[in-house]
Amino acid sequence: MNVSTLLTDEAKEVLTEGSLQAIEQALTEKINLAVESALTEQDDLYASKLQQLITAIDKDHTTKLKKVVEAIDKDNYNKLANVVKMYEKALSKEANGFKDTLVESISNYLEEFLNEAVPVEAITEATKNKTAMTVLSNLRKVLAVDAALMSESVQDAVIDGKNQIDDLTKKVNELAKENTLIKENYSKTKSALILESKAAGLSDKKREYIKRVLGDKSPKFIEENFDYTLRLFDKKEQERISIIKEQAFSKREVKADAPVVKPTPTTKQVSNPYVTELDKIR
Amino acid sequence: MSKQVNQEVNTLSAEELQSLQESANIENFINSISSKNYALAHKYLEQVIDSKLKARIAASLDKPLF
């Protein structure tokens, strides 16, 4: 700073060069001090204002950040809830479907593997062999075929023997039938003979009744029941006669001087269960 | 609940029961493999293969010999 430009000409003439320099130096120092003081004061003021500003900004940011954090938390909570629901759904439905698919795939794979390792034809052949062996073994037991009978030299004899046995069996069956027929005929003839001989002295009515009741019975039956049958016939005849008598008595006109008919004492009938049964047959 | 399951099981045919048993064995096989229990896995796999072979043998037995 040049002091001479600030002073008037009269002051320049009065003051010496040294004084001017001293004044100039003093002014410069004073100005420097004043500027320094003003700058320090300004710094303090700005510092306090900045502090207040930073505090306010921090407070505002804190509030805003809290709101942002709360919003983010809420959003994340909703998203996580959805994720949990989706996860549960996937576990309950899709996982079950996946499990079924996996099980089916493994089952199919095992089927294919078994088809290659053990073909169906081999299993069929093995089962047929086993079944045939079982059948053969049972046939051997039933037919009593042992190792000796299996040789070809004995087979013809065995077949011949079997044929003979078959023929003889046929003949035996035919003879049995014939025997049965002959026995039946014999029985019928004998029955007729016995009936004829026993009914020889009887009346025609009795004979007819006896033939009707005992005609198709065996000789033994006729021998045992002939007398019973005769007694039954007599009894029935007596009953029939008594019924006819009663009817005749009931229809006639009674006369005062008619003789009193005393009822004949009836013999007490001995109840015979066999006769009763014969009566039922009749 | 268990009664209902039992009734449903009783109404199933033999083939359906066998199929269910096979599926259960395969599930157990997968579980055993997952838990590295190889002995148990071997057991279940053996049962599955036995079941499949028995089904094939039964099917071939149904065919007449001649």
Work out the average pLDDT over B9-24.
83
Work out the average pLDDT over B18-26.
91
Chain A interface includes B34 (CB < 8 A): no
Choose, out of B26, B44, B46, B66, the residue to mutate when testing the contact with A (most A CBs < 10 Å): B26
Per-residue pLDDT, A26: 92
Chain A interface includes B55 (CB < 8 A): no
User: Which of B27, B48, B65 is closest, CB to CB, to A131?
Assistant: B65
Q: Residue B49 and residue A118: Cβ atoms within 8 Å?
A: no
What is the CA A232 to chain-centroid distance, rounded? 69
CB B6 within 8 A of CB B28: no
Per-residue pLDDT, A146: 66
Low-confidence stretches of chain A (pLDDT < 50) are: none
User: Which of B27, B53, B60 is closest, CB to CB, to A114?
Assistant: B53
CB B56 within 8 A of CB A123: yes
Per-residue pLDDT, A266: 53
> Does a structural domain hold residue B1?
no
* Whole-angstrom distance, CA of residue A173 vs CA of residue A155: 27
Chain A residues in contact with chain B using a Cβ-Cβ cutoff of 8 Å: 99, 102-103, 106-107, 110-111, 114, 118, 120, 123-124, 127-128, 131-132, 135
Choose, out of B18, B20, B21, B23, the residue to mutate when testing the contact with A (most A CBs < 10 Å): B23
Work out the average pLDDT over B37-52.
94
What is the residue range of B22's domain?
A: 13-62
Per-residue pLDDT, A269: 54
- The per-residue DSSP string of A152-212 comes to HHHHHHHHHHHHHHHHHHHHHHHHHHHHHHHHHHHHHHHHHHHHHHHTTTS-HHHHHHHHH
Per-residue pLDDT, A1: 63
Q: Residue A110 and residue B48: Cβ atoms within 8 Å?
A: yes
Chain A interface includes B33 (CB < 8 A): no
Count residue pairs from A and B with Cβ separation < 8 A.
Answer: 40
Query: Which residues lie below 8 Å from residue A146, measured CB to CB, with a gap of 6+?
Result: A140
Choose, out of A98, A100, A103, the residue to mutate when testing the contact with B (most B CBs < 10 Å): A103
Q: Residue B22 and residue A132: Cβ atoms within 8 Å?
A: no
* Whole-angstrom distance, CA of residue A263 vs CA of residue A254: 16
> Does a structural domain hold residue B4?
no
Q: Residue A111 and residue B52: Cβ atoms within 8 Å?
A: yes
> Does a structural domain hold residue B30?
yes
Residue B39 has pLDDT above 60, yes or no: yes
How many domains does chain B fold into?
1
* Whole-angstrom distance, CA of residue B45 vs CA of residue B22: 9
Q: Residue A124 and residue B53: Cβ atoms within 8 Å?
A: no
Q: Give the model's confidence band at B27: pLDDT under 50 very low, under 70 low, under 90 confident, else very high.
A: very high
Task: Look at A88 and B65; give whichever has higher pLDDT.
Answer: A88
**ipTM score of complex:** 0.81
Which residue, among A266, A249, A269, has the nearest Cα to A258 in the 3D structure?
A249
Query: What is chain B's length?
Result: 66
Per-residue pLDDT, A61: 97
| Ranges of each domain in chain A | 3-110, 164-252+269-281
Q: Residue A131 and residue B61: Cβ atoms within 8 Å?
A: yes
**Residue A111, min C-alpha distance to chain B (Å):** 8
Residue B40 has pLDDT above 90, yes or no: yes
Query: Which residues lie below 8 Å from residue A211, measured CB to CB, with a gap of 6+?
Result: A195, A199
